[in-house]
Amino acid sequence: MNQRLAHIAIVVKDYDEAIAFYTQQLGFDLIEDTVLSETKRWVLVKPKGNGQCCLLLAKAANELQSTRVGNQTGGRVFLFLYTDDFNRDYANLLLHQIKIVRPPSQEEYGTVAVFEDLYGNLWDLIQPNTK
């Protein structure tokens, strides 16, 4: 058996502002931006590197979905961004004035900081300890 997560949907207010945040501020690659209808696009972004999992930027299509923008997990950390260079990526967060919720700390599993994306979803930036 061979299974993998391909995409994780994240509800956004606007496609273009979300694309700009993830590509220009976090440095992700825009993988696809295909128009499906007047109101819907298929937008995939992913972090640099050899990982295959992408974020599917899904514009809120109704009032209920709009209430989930920025709070898809009820205030818990939603996504975990692993890095091979914590200092480089943390400096990038500071450079782009991305809100830091919890400053860097050394934990059993590695170095971690918590930040918010443009809508308030919480992310862990993690550089795992090497064994």
**Which CATH class name applies to 1-69?**
alpha beta
3-state secondary structure the chain: CCCCCCEEEEEECCHHHHHHHHHHHCCCEEEEEEECCCCCEEEEEECCCCCCCEEEEEECCCHHHHCCCCCCCCCCEEEEEECCCHHHHHHHHHHCCCCEEEEEEEECCEEEEEEECCCCCEEEEEEECCC
**Which CATH number, 3.10.180.10, 3.30.1490.150, 3.30.413.10, 3.30.420.40, labels domain 71-131?**
3.10.180.10
What is the per-residue pLDDT across 96-126, written as a single tens digit (0 to 9) for each?
Answer: 999 999 999 999 999 999 999 999 999 999 9
Same fold? 1-69, 71-131: yes
What is the per-residue pLDDT across 46-95, written as a single tens digit (0 to 9) for each?
Answer: 999 888 899 999 999 999 999 999 999 999 999 999 999 999 999 999 99
pLDDT at 7 over 80: yes
Q: What pLDDT is attached to residue 50?
A: 86
Find the mean pLDDT for residues 4-16: 96
Locate the domains of the chain by residue range: 1-69, 71-131
